[in-house]
Amino acid sequence: MNDFQDLYQEIVMDHNRRPRNFGKLEDATSFANGFNPLCGDEINVYVKLVDDEIADIAFNGDSCAISKSSASMLTDGVKGKKISDAIQIFESFREMITRKPGEDFSSDILGDLEILSGVSQFPARIKCATLPWHTFHTALTENDQSVSTE
């Protein structure tokens, strides 16, 4: 394995074993449920909005290591951000993860989230990585709705 693959595996496994912001956020102001019928992954995203900022965020559910790690990294990446900035992060992440092999990608807002760029090489896992993100976006824009990868 090369250094990037080693780092990717280490970070994904760390976020899977010790997910950040895992649990139900009792005082959430927004919520969405996400489901991937192909593999059975289910994620709930809870967001507490104060003014125009994500004051707190949490997730729970049953999912694979990629989905859980992606959700954990998502919550770390958007907590404390303005809603507009969080939506830009979502859009940049979606662009990164769904690009075709060989397409260049550059972002100055994703930071550590770019470690998940390797998922784009495995089409069967893209929905696993994006499920928490689409669920988060739905919580921000449609509140109390469900989203599916299909």
Containing domain of residue 62, as a range?
3-143
67-109: pLDDT as tens digits: 999 999 999 999 999 999 999 999 999 988 887 766 676 677 8
For residue 149, is it within any domain? no
Of the pLDDT bands very low, low, confident and very high (cuts 50, 70, 90), residue 11 is confident
In this predicted structure, what is the pLDDT of residue 112? 80
The amino acid occupying position 106 is S
Contact 61, 41 (CB under 8 A): yes
Number of domains in the chain: 1
18-59: pLDDT as tens digits: 999 999 999 999 999 999 998 899 999 999 999 999 999 999
DSSP state of 109: S
Look up the CATH number of the domain holding residue 95: 3.90.1010.10
For residue 17, is it within any domain? yes
CB-based burial, 60-80: b 16+ in 10 Å, e otherwise? bbebbebbbbbbbbbbbbbbe
For residue 100, is it within any domain? yes
For residue 148, is it within any domain? no
